[in-house]
Structure formats: C-alpha cells, structure tokens
A and B are shown apart, each in its own frame.
Chain A
Amino acid sequence: MSKFERKSGKNSPAISTASLPDIIFMLLFFFMTVTVMRTAEVKVAIQTPNATELTKLEQKSLVNFIYVGRPYERYQSEFGTAPRMQLGEKFADLGDISFFLEEHRLKLPENQKDKIITSMKIDSDITMGIVSDIKDELRKAGQLKVNYSAKRRVD
C-alpha cells in the first residue's frame, strides 16, 4: 500500500522528448526508402484486376510502363471516351510503341537490355482488342517480357 502512495505523492516528471527526433527520423527513413517519385501523370482511368500469381518488379530502371484505359473526363473532349493507350506523359498510337521502347533501351547499358520488362497497367473493364494489338506490337519490337499489373487478391 505505502509503496503506491509514495509514488503518487510526488509530482510526475515531464516525459523526456529527447528521443522524439530519433523516432521521427526512423519514420522518415522508412518513407524515404519506400518512396517512388511519380514519374508520369496518368491520364486514363485504371482499375487493375486482381490476381494471385504475382511477381514483384524489382529494378525500377528496367521497367517501362504502358497505360491503357478510358481517358479521364477532363481529357475526354480531346481524346474521346474509347480506351486509349498512354506512353510516358502522353496519349499514343500503336505505331509509337517501338520508338518508346527503343528510347528506353538507349538509356541502359548493353548487358541489361534483355532484362527490360514492360509493365502493362490496364483497366480490367477494357476489352481485349486493344490489348491484343499492343501485345503484337511488343512482339514485333522484340519486347517479350511483360508484366500485367495486378493487385493481390485476398481469397
């Protein structure tokens, strides 16, 4: 009994905030490491499908992105509502794919060129027609490693 009373009798000292910077720094480093700076503004609505057999894309420099979806409302007056493909920052046509891939290849050293992966971020409500066309273009350009971007499905 007396033990507890003695403690409560004293004024509790202020909590030391000396370790606060350390905690914040820890969080800071966490976010610094997981951060990926947005490279391109996506102009099409994309809701990627769910899947279970997923592979992580490890090396960012070896990945290029193709976005396919319906343009957002603010672009619809210019580009219509039909599914469109976006390469980098802008809307593109099928013929632009090979140039886009070549541009990425030029940035990489020789020994990494065959490790390039194209990540296809495609809206799950899009029909396969445009996807098949893109696949054919990729095959023609010799870009065979493709990753269909998807979210993890929880069963």
Chain B
Amino acid sequence: MTDPILFKDIDEPGLRTLEVYRRRGGYDMVSKALAMTRDELVHDLEISGLRGRGGAGFSMGKKASFLPKTTMDKYLVCNADESEPGTFKDRELMTKLPHMLIEGIIIAAHAAGANRAFIYIRGEYQEVADILDAALVEARDAGYLDNLPLVVHRGAGAYICGEETGLLDSLEGKRGNPRLKPPFPANQGLYQGPTLINNVETLMTVPHIVRMGGESYAKIGAANSTGTKVVSVSGNVQRPGNYEIELGIASRELIYGLAGGPPEGREILFWFPGGSSSPVLTKDELDVPYDFDSMAKAGSMIGSGAIIIVDDSNSVVDVALKLASFYRHESCGKCTPCREGTNWTVKVLERIQSGLGTPMDLDIMASVQDRIIGNCLCVLGDSMAMPIGSMIEKFRPQFEEYMESRREVAA
C-alpha cells in the first residue's frame, strides 16, 4: 500500500488555514507550475495518466489540451456538485483541504490558459462553501489569485448540475439542463467561451503531480488507472467513510479490509462499485480489481469512486425503487426517454411493491431501460437504466419471489 497522497495527515489541526497549509509546503507548486509553459504542464499532466475523478474518467491532461490557444476569455470550472448517491469524498477533501483545491485550480487554470475560475459547489454543502469562502479570502489576501478571479458559486439542489453542461447552464443562471454536444465545453462552454471542467479530487491531485512529476505519478496505481483514488464506502458496512487507495487493489480488500464489510451475520447481496449509477455487482464479483478498466470489464464502472454495499437484509425491489425514484426526481425533463422512462419505471416498481406486479412487468421494465440507454443528451437516464437493468438481469428470481410474496400480502 502506497502512502496516501491527498489524505496525508489530513486531520492535522488548522490545516484549513493558509498558515498551516503553507507550513506543509502548500502553494509551493504554484510557482513551479507557473514557471512551466502551458504545453509543458499539459504534457506532464498527460503522462501522469490522471483520469478525471468525477465519474467519466477522461484524461485530465488531454482535456486541458483541447482548449484552444486563442486570446479570448477562457474559464476553469471546478465541479464540486458532488451529488452522486454514495459519494462524499469531495466534501471531505474540501472541508479539510480547501487551500489544496485552490492551489490545484491555479495550476490547472494555467494548464488550460484560463483567466477566470469558478467553483460550483452544491447548495447543500453550505458549511463547506463557507470554509472555501474563508480560504478564498486568505488566498486572495496572500496574492495567489491576483491573476485569476475565483468565485465560489453555490448551487441550490439539483443532481443534474453535476453533469458538466448542466452545471454550465446553472452557473450561467439558468435551469440546469444539459446541453447538446457538440459543441463541447472545451470549445464553447461557460458564456460560450472555452472551458475546462474538472472534479475537485482531480484538481487537488494536480499540485501533487507537479511536485512528483507526471512520470513518477504514473508509477502509482494500475496500468491505465494511475494514482490513488479516494473511495467513499457506505451502506451496510461497519466502517463507512472515505479511503484513499491505490487504484487496482482488490475490491474485497477495500470493502472488507478497510470498511469492515457488512455487519456481523450479514452477507453482501449486491454492491454498487461507482455510485448509484453503476451497474451492480454481486458477492461473487468482490475480487475485481478496483480500477477503471477492470471494473469496465466486469460490466460496471468506478464512476465517482463510491461503493455502496447492500446486504441480504434488504430486498432488491426496495433498493430499485429508491434508486428509480431518485433519478425520476432528478431528471431535468429535457429528453423524452429519461423524463418518461424514469417516471414509468417508478410507477411499475410502485405497482410491484403494492402487490400488483407480474413477471411480464420485468420484461417491460427491462425493455424500458434498454430504450433509455444511449438515447438521451446526457447520461442521467442511463444512470438509472444501467443499474436497474443489471438488477433485473442478476436478480430476476428475487424480483419474482418478491412479487409473489407481495401478491399474497395484497390479497
């Protein structure tokens, strides 16, 4: 196990303040990075292999390189709208290391050639936004932000604003509806200007890459999944919380070793490896290495790095309904398949719960999921359809059993 990078001594008293952060070498990487040319910095990020920590897992350096080199206004937006159920890593990182985020933003803005930056933080994180605002005042007073106006923009409760183009619309003061792509944000993002959008954890990793050099960073972790990753483990585990792991360790080690596994006497029914949007895996799939490619091969994804454990005291139907209701609530309503498909799925599951379900409903529901996937502007609909689809596929007998028992109750 490699040493933690982001979590190293994260609970040191006063680390939120500029003074303590700087004493630990904080902001030292700003001058180092600014001394590099934009191309050198982007190159370093590219060879580091750092992949976005927000969910999509796209190469951070490559994304930064997409921004045109024109002189027009360019923007860096930090996506701190952490809303994927089961995910709470950015919250912990921002609460404890606000200055590391600012440092990362300053460096990433240089990589992107951005002259203005925003942190879009979900509105529910009021305490965290206050911490960031306080850190911002310190950083501004210390002169770190002289060339980069940085504003903490608080959202107001909408999961879809974590989707990068929904976030941009929201930041522009509109309803947070995702946009058509193309144009991609790198060309036409915020206020029509080229925009780099990165997750909190990604940006906080940037100063460390500058410190270590991209090549050294790339040696940590697994092939194609370099570095460490903060993973949020929650649900039916004994020690829920955030764990910084080296990518590629066995999922079992993370779930049982670090988080303690399910409560005594319980077994894992299924688990979400990457937030509620990821197709579920069963207890037979606990040895899949926790990295981007292995998880994809197993038919799921590490997404935002949030493991939710569901033990065998629960019913798959209840979890499916919880999940579908969430996506129905959060669908922005723009695309027909997502808006209507999430709604339909909830109605079928509610009927099943009320004892009026039939096995045919499972076929219809599975088909509804298929008809959502790939047919929308963004992946919110897919985010319901993939896990629900995987649940029906992997737990059909449990669904049918549930229907039977409910039918008896209803009768």
A and B together in one complex? no
Q: Using a CB–CB distance below 8 Å, which chain A residues touch chain B?
A: none
Q: Using a CB–CB distance below 8 Å, which chain B residues touch chain A?
A: none
